[in-house]
């Protein structure tokens, strides 16, 4: 491949960082590579620290793609405006702050190929993206057989510090208080470790009327959640928050 424009979407996670590295190594000499990021306020400052570390590691500049409608890039602002947080069809924040800005950037820049950090375990997600979004998807991690753990190993071996969200027990670098996770395990973990974030989600969801937690197939308000309630282990809640929000992503993953 040569003379093509390849868009790599970097989510401040280990997998997308390694996907960017593989793309640059394989295609960087003869093609234009754009590495892009949608910064989200609720992800926390350490995600952007990791982004800067990755820029140095790869010797590239990562471009921020911002929503025209919500230039604050805050999920809370989206939820307040939309009066909707999350449900079976996904979350309003992913659509407004990631999907819509990506599609606008694509219309303006016409990339020939798109790279996302789908790992070897995520062939199904890659197939759905090709079916519903773009056929011109490159999946270097799947092609090389890289698992999530392989990506962690690459980052650690490079001497980079993963975002704090990983180090604090989460399986991804998504936002704290992610409204797509219905797990009582997750919300009670948040209540203990980040009580201020838990309280913000509780108060805003009460105002909007959103029921964010699922216990025994029943949706409950956070104010109704038993502090001792548990679901599956935290590692089972690797909810996708890339450039599309999967239907049913809020359910517990078996």
Host H or E run for residue 128: helix 123-132
> d(Cα 142, Cα 23) in Å, to the nearest integer?
12
Residue 237 banded pLDDT, cuts 50, 70, 90 = low
Average per-residue pLDDT in the chain?
89
Share of the chain above pLDDT 70, in %: 91
Q: How much is the pLDDT for 220?
A: 94
**Full-model pTM:** 0.86
Task: Indicate whether 240 pLDDT > 70.
Answer: no
Task: Indicate whether 81 pLDDT > 50.
Answer: yes
CB distance 203 to 162 below 8 Å: no
Domains of the chain from N-terminus onward:
5-236 (3.40.50.620)
Cβ count within 10 A of residue 172? 21
Q: How much is the pLDDT for 235?
A: 58
Task: Indicate whether 239 pLDDT > 70.
Answer: no
Pick from 19-23, 124-128, 179-183: least confident: 179-183
CB distance 79 to 93 below 8 Å: yes
Q: How much is the pLDDT for 166?
A: 79
Q: What is the pLDDT of residues 17-26, one digit of tens each?
A: 999 999 999 9
CB distance 238 to 79 below 8 Å: no
Q: Span 224-230, mean pLDDT?
A: 93
DSSP one-letter string for 71-104: TT--HHHHHHHHT--EETTEEHHHIIIIIHHHHH
> d(Cα 231, Cα 139) in Å, to the nearest integer?
32
CA distances from 202 to 71, 123, 217, 243, 249 (A): 24, 35, 20, 26, 20
Q: Span 69-95, mean pLDDT?
A: 91
């Amino acid at each position: 491949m040569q003379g093509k424009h390849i868009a790599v979407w970097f989510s401040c996670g280990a997998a997308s960082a390694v996907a960017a590295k593989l793309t640059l190594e394989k295609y960087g000499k003869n093609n234009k590579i754009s590495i892009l990021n949608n910064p989200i306020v609720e992800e926390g400052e350490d995600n952007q620290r990791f982004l800067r570390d990755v820029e140095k590691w790869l010797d590239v500049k990562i471009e921020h793609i911002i929503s025209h409608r919500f230039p604050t890039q805050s999920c809370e602002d989206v939820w307040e405006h939309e009066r909707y947080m999350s449900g079976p069809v996904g979350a309003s924040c992913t659509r407004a702050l990631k999907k819509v800005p990506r599609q606008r950037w694509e219309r303006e820049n016409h990339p020939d190929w798109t790279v996302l950090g789908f790992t070897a375990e995520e062939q199904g997600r890659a197939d759905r993206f090709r079916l519903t979004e773009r056929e011109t998807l490159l999946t270097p991690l799947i092609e090389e057989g890289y698992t999530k753990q392989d990506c962690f190993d690459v980052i650690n071996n490079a001497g980079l510090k993963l975002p704090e969200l990983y180090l604090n027990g989460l399986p991804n670098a998504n936002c704290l208080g992610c409204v797509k996770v219905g797990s009582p395990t997750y919300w009670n973990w948040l209540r203990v470790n980040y009580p201020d974030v838990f309280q913000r989600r509780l108060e805003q969801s009460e105002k909007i009327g959103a029921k964010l937690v699922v216990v025994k197939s029943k949706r409950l308000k956070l104010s109704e959640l038993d502090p001792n309630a548990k679901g599956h282990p935290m590692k089972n809640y690797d909810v996708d928050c890339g450039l599309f929000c999967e239907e049913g992503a809020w359910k517990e993953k078996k």
